[in-house]
């Protein structure tokens, strides 16, 4: 596509087989970007990612689906190399993929803790590092990380996930300081309670979750992945050319400030 706020740009979105990542990929494509869809190396995720890539290509977008275990540093490098080989140098990186788990904090094993941090926090750093030469050379590089409102609310039951998402905020701000002189912007999106396929699998009773979530939100409806997509487009585009080191909360008015 030759028109749109992201026309001519190449974006890599991880966790793009479904949910927030898929919505972001569709929004980027609608704005003219070529999109590499990073997905977890599982057969079900492969089917979803390949279907989305086909959908985008049918609509006229250059798109490719690429698998990667973000806990593996070599796989992160290969993911970026693959995206570049198929679509060209990267302009935008969205570190959306995350591993979530629910458990009492005393029941979390060291292996589970390390795995969550390896995917969520270290994976975001490795992804930014691998793509950085492209982002600098292109002159309009944008890295978008994904935190969680749980980093603000401190909810019980997912200490390792919540701590990793709090770490994303620190990573975003420190990396924005370091990359600013190179003209690369780094920002985070902080989603609230978003109704995705993952939530549906964990919480099959939507009415019960609706009552629980809307009680703490200013807006009395559930958020969807599409509600987040515009924030990512903004942070990837020239509309946010003077915005870096920021955390953009999209949560229906759950937390303020």
What residue spans define the domains of the chain? Answer: 10-195+226-250
pLDDT of residue 211: 84
Q: Which residues of 130-169 are buried (b: 16+ CB within 10 A; e: fewer)?
A: bbbebbeebebbbbbbbbbbbbbeeeeebbbbbbbbbbbb
> What is the per-residue pLDDT across 129-139, written as a single tens digit (0 to 9) for each?
999 999 999 99
> Contact, 51 vs 25, CB < 8 A?
no
Please count the CA atoms within 13 angstroms of the CA of 143 that sit on its side-chain side. Answer: 33
Residue 234 annotated in active site: no
The owner of tokens 């590089």 is 141
**pLDDT band at 2; cut points 50, 70, 90:** low
Q: How confident is the model at residue 1 (pLDDT cuts 50, 70, 90)?
A: low
pLDDT at 202 (0 to 100): 63
Instruction: Give a three-class secondary structure readout of the chain.
Output: CCCCCCCCCEEEECCCCCHHHHHHHHHHHHCCCEEEEEECCCHHHHHHHHHHHHHHHHCCCCEEEEECCCCCHHHHHHHHHHHHHHHCCCCEEEECCCCCCCECHHHCCHHHHHHHHHHHHHHHHHHHHHHHHHHHHHCCCEEEEECCCHHHHCCCCEHHHHHHHHHHHHHHHHHHHHHHHHCCEEEEEEECCEECHHHHHHCCCHHHHHHHHHCCCCCCCCEEHHHHHHHHHHHHCHHHCCCCCCEEEECCCCCCC
Q: Give, in order, the Cα–Cα distances in Å from 186 to each of 25, 36, 97, 120.
A: 18, 19, 17, 16
Catalytic site residue from 39, 132, 161, 234? 161
> For residue 180, what pLDDT band results from cuts at 50, 70 and 90?
very high
pTM: 0.94
Q: In this structure, which CATH number among 3.40.50.2300, 3.40.50.720, 3.40.50.360, 3.30.70.2860 belongs to the domain 10-195+226-250? A: 3.40.50.720
- Tens digits of residue pLDDT in 7-58: 999 999 999 999 999 999 999 999 999 999 999 999 999 999 999 999 999 9
């Amino acid at each position: 596509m030759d028109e749109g706020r992201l026309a001519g740009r190449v974006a890599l979105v991880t966790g793009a087989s479904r949910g927030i990542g898929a919505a972001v990929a569709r929004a980027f494509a609608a704005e003219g970007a070529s999109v590499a869809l990073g997905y977890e190396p599982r057969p079900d995720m492969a089917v979803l990612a390949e279907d989305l890539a086909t959908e985008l290509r049918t609509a006229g977008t250059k798109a490719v689906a690429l698998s990667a275990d973000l806990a593996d540093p070599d796989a992160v490098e290969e993911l970026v190399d693959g995206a570049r080989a198929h679509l060209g140098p990267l302009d935008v990186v969205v570190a959306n993929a995350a591993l979530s788990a629910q458990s009492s904090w005393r029941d979390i094993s060291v292996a589970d803790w390390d795995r969550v941090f390896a995917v969520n926090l270290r994976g975001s750093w490795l992804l930014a590092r691998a793509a950085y030469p492209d982002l600098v050379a292109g002159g309009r590089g944008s890295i978008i990380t994904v935190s969680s409102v749980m980093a603000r609310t401190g909810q019980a039951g997912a200490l390792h996930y919540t701590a990793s998402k709090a770490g994303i905020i620190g990573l975003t701000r420190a990396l924005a300081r370091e990359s600013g002189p190179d003209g690369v912007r780094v920002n985070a999106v902080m989603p609230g309670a978003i109704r995705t396929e993952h939530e549906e699998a964990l919480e099959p009773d939507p009415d019960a979750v609706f009552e629980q979530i809307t009680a703490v939100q200013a807006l009395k409806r559930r958020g969807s992945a599409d509600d987040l997509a515009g924030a990512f487009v903004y942070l990837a585009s020239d509309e946010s050319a003077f915005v870096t080191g920021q955390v953009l909360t999209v949560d229906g008015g759950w937390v303020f400030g």
